[in-house]
């Protein structure tokens, strides 16, 4: 499957709402402040934070939305947030594609370390991020016992992104 990463549009962001079937799922992905259920307008307000760029990962052939992620500047790092793969496409390696495409996008702006938060109970995501080189690190703000703060150095991100690019 050939994919493409682009800035997300409003229609794609609204589509995301249907990917979550419970308050727990939506809050695990978006944060505790995400109301469930909520109106499209409220969903977009919560999703579109100042200083955050939203990206969609789509099938290059038919335009189907496959994944979504955000990039922002936090903790003097490129911070990945709200990463998600469309439920029916999980387990196909698309999380790796999404993350490396976001890392390439971020490093194209500035060479900096990469960070993200992940819920400790989300074993599949923790395992995915670990395989991609992220390591649990001390959090830069008051610790939330439900979350891991994970980082990837800029040098390691560049090395792994180059390996990714060589494989595609």
* Cβ count near 157 (within 10 Å): 25
> In the chain, what percentage of residues exceed pLDDT 90?
90
Please list the helix, strand and coil fractions of the chain in percent, rounded to the nearest 5, in that order: 40, 30, 30
Residue 78 main-chain phi, psi, to 5 deg: -80, 120
Q: What is the pTM of this model?
A: 0.95
- 34: confidence class by pLDDT, cuts 50, 70, 90: confident
Burial 10-39 (b: 16+ CB within 10 A, else e): eebbebbbebbeeeeebbbbbeeebeeeee
**Domain boundary assignment for the chain:** 3-167
The pLDDT value given to residue 69? 98
CB 59 within 8 A of CB 2: yes
pLDDT for 107 beyond 90 = yes
Across the chain, mean pLDDT equals 95
Q: Is the dihedral of CA 88, 93, 95, 98 positive or negative?
A: negative
The pLDDT value given to residue 35? 87
Count the alpha carbons within 13 Å of 159 in the hemisphere toward its beta carbon. 9
Which CATH number describes the domain made up of 3-167?
3.40.630.30
33, 54, 56: which is closest to 43 by C-alpha? 33
Cα-based angle 105, 7, 125 (whole degrees, multiple of 5)? 65
d(CA 53, CA 168): 25
């Amino acid at each position: 499957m050939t994919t493409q990463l682009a800035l997300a549009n409003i229609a794609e962001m609204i589509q995301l709402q249907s990917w979550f079937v419970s308050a727990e799922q939506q809050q695990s992905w978006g944060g505790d402040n995400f109301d469930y259920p909520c109106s499209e307008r409220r969903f977009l307000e919560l999703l579109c934070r100042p200083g955050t760029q939203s990206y969609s990962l789509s099938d290059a052939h038919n335009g189907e939305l496959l994944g979504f992620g955000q990039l922002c500047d936090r903790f003097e790092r490129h911070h990945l947030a709200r990463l998600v793969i469309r439920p029916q496409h999980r387990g196909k390696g698309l999380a790796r594609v999404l993350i490396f495409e976001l890392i390439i996008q971020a490093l194209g702006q500035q060479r900096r370390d990469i960070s993200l938060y992940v819920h400790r109970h989300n074993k599949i995501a923790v395992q995915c991020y670990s395989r991609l080189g992220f390591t649990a690190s001390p959090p830069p703000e008051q610790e939330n016992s439900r979350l891991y703060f994970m980082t990837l150095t800029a040098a390691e991100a560049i090395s792994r992104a180059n390996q990714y690019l060589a494989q595609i």
